[in-house]
């Protein structure tokens, strides 16, 4: 046994162990008070980075869910206005049937035609004034994307066999087609380039007589329909210009990707517009009234088509919201596993550290008292 005064090794050892136990106790207290296992990068550097990415994803998905819910509200607003237009068209058809009978005179038809005209004006007013957050919905301007270069599209239709251009989430911009010899056809927006192989039974994949095929550039959000008037290399150098519309495109995912957006278009539902085409309809004579019945039937079918399309979009958005919320729940569970404190484990660690601190404090006191034994030797 050796007794030293200048350096109390036992006290130093006890102090080191006490400091370590106190640090563990402090960390347990911090985790228990915050509810988080990771409070700073030093606690788990990799875990912090992973959980922060998850938090950003969760935040984006929550906002995407709200965007989809607002898209449902847009659809419901437009569909509500269409319902009233539908009711007015039904009344206009009733008036047309009434005016088409010889049971009324031309004078009577004048009265009937007055109501008919008022209803047509009201349809125009509703179509012009219906809006959501300042954006017109059913006057023909609401579209997720629109082919702005209509002249080029028309030329392509008449000369190159393109019978339809369908946009499905395409970003606004200029799309250039490369159509070299062979069945492959390429399209690019300057950033993304996609090549598809034509599947027609004609030469180099072109459509045979009476045949139509589609070239689906799904990565760009554009689908072309080609008929038998298309020949190999016809579309080389063709440009399609896509402009963003006044609405109709919703971000329903957390990432900047085409498949994280949903687009839809609402037609022009003015009575005097090209969709309903009731500008010239009147009930001033029996013959005109008879013609009006046919015109209104076509208008009712057009509104039915629009409402059916919006109903499909609303159902789609409902599934989108459910899927996004499910993603949020599962990613949040993963983030919680990494970031959140396990209270049972932390209380076990806290209790252990508390006992070690108490024991360490007692042992440090004993170690500090040991040098006093030297005084006994010095008294002798």
Q: Which of 224, 244, 264 is the last residue of a domain?
A: 244
CA dist 91 and 99 (Å) reads 12
pLDDT at 153 over 60: no
Q: Any idea what DSSP says for residue 275?
A: T
Residue by residue, DSSP assigns 125-191 as HHHHH-EETTEE-SBS---SEEE--HHHHHHHHHHH-EEEEEESSPPSEEEEEE--SSSEEEEE-SS
pLDDT at 158 over 60: no
CA dist 29 and 347 (Å) reads 9
Domain that residue 225 falls in = 145-244
CA dist 189 and 167 (Å) reads 14
Structure tokens at 145: 């994307």
Q: Which of 244, 263, 297 is the last residue of a domain?
A: 244
Q: What is the mean pLDDT of the chain?
A: 86
Q: 26-50 pLDDT, tens per residue?
A: 888 888 888 888 887 877 888 888 9
For 1, other C-beta atoms within 10 Å of its C-beta total: 3
- Torsion over CA: 190, 195, 201, 202 (sign): positive
| 306 contact partners, CB below 8 Å, separation of at least 6 | 82, 138, 266, 267, 269, 275
Does any domain span residue 216?
yes
Does any domain span residue 75?
no
Q: 191-212 pLDDT, tens per residue?
A: 999 999 999 998 899 999 888 8
Does any domain span residue 112?
no
Residue 14 · residue 364 · CB < 8 Å: yes
On whether the pTM is more than 0.75, the answer is: no
Q: What percent of the chain has pLDDT over 90?
A: 44
Q: What percent of the chain has pLDDT over 70?
A: 92
- pLDDT for 245 equals 60
Scanning the structure block, which residue is given the tokens 């049937």? 97
Q: Which of 207, 223, 244 is the last residue of a domain?
A: 244
Least confident span in 17-21, 83-87, 242-246, 268-272:
242-246
Does any domain span residue 31?
yes
Residue 35 · residue 302 · CB < 8 Å: no
Does any domain span residue 154?
yes
pLDDT at 150 over 90: no
Structure tokens at 97: 């049937």
- pLDDT for 319 equals 95
Structure tokens at 24: 């563990």
User: What pairing do the DSSP bridges indicate for beta strands 184-188 and 131-132?
Assistant: unpaired
Does any domain span residue 155?
yes
Q: 232-280 pLDDT, tens per residue?
A: 988 898 888 877 666 778 999 998 888 898 888 888 899 988 789 898 8
In whole angstroms, how far apart are CA 299 and each of 85, 90, 111, 115? 10, 10, 23, 18
Q: Indicate the pLDDT class of residue 151, thresholds 50, 70 and 90.
A: very low
Does any domain span residue 122?
no
Coil vs helix vs strand at 4: coil
- pLDDT for 349 equals 83
Structure tokens at 161: 């066999």
Residue by residue, DSSP assigns 194-247 as EEEE---SSGGGPPPTT--EEEEETTTTEEEEE-TT--TTTTTT-EEEEEE-SS
Does any domain span residue 304?
no
Q: 277-308 pLDDT, tens per residue?
A: 898 899 999 999 999 999 999 999 999 989 99
Domain count, the chain: 2
């Amino acid at each position: 046994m050796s007794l030293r005064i200048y350096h109390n090794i036992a006290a130093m050892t006890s102090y080191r162990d006490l400091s370590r136990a106190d640090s563990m106790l402090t960390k347990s207290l911090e985790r228990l008070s915050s509810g988080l296992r990771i409070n700073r990068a030093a606690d788990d550097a990799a875990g912090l980075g992973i959980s922060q990415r998850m938090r950003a994803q969760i935040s984006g998905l929550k906002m995407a869910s709200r965007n989809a819910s607002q898209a449902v509200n847009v659809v419901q607003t437009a569909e509500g206005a269409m319902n009233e237009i539908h009711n007015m068209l039904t009344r206009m058809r009733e008036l047309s049937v009434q005016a088409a009978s010889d049971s009324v005179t031309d004078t009577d038809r004048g009265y009937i035609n007055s109501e008919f005209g008022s209803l047509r004006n009201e349809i125009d007013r509703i179509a012009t004034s219906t809006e959501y957050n300042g954006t017109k919905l059913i006057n023909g301007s609401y579209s997720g994307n629109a082919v702005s270069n209509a002249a080029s599209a028309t030329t392509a239709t008449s000369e190159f066999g393109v019978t339809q251009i369908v946009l499905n989430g395409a970003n606004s911009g200029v799309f250039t087609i490369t159509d070299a010899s062979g069945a492959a056809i390429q399209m690019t927006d300057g950033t993304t380039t996609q090549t598809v192989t034509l599947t027609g039974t004609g030469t180099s994949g072109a459509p045979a007589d009476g045949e139509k095929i589609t070239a689906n550039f799904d990565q760009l959000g554009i689908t072309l329909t080609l008929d038998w008037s298309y020949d190999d290399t016809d579309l080389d150098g063709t440009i399609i210009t896509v402009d963003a519309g006044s609405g109709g495109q919703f971000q329903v995912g957390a990432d900047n990707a085409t498949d994280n957006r949903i687009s839809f278009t609402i037609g022009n539902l003015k009575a005097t517009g090209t969709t309903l085409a009731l500008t010239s309809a009147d009930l001033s004579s029996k013959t005109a009234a008879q013609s009006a019945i046919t015109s209104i039937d076509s208008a009712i079918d057009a509104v039915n088509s629009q409402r059916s399309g919006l109903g499909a979009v609303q159902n789609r958005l409902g599934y989108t919201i459910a899927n996004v919320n499910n993603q949020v729940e599962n990613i949040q569970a993963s983030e919680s596993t990494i970031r959140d404190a396990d209270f049972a484990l932390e209380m076990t660690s806290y209790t252990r550290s508390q006992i070690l601190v108490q024991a360490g404090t007692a042992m440090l006191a004993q170690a500090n008292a040991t040098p006093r034994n030297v005084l006994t030797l010095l008294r002798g």
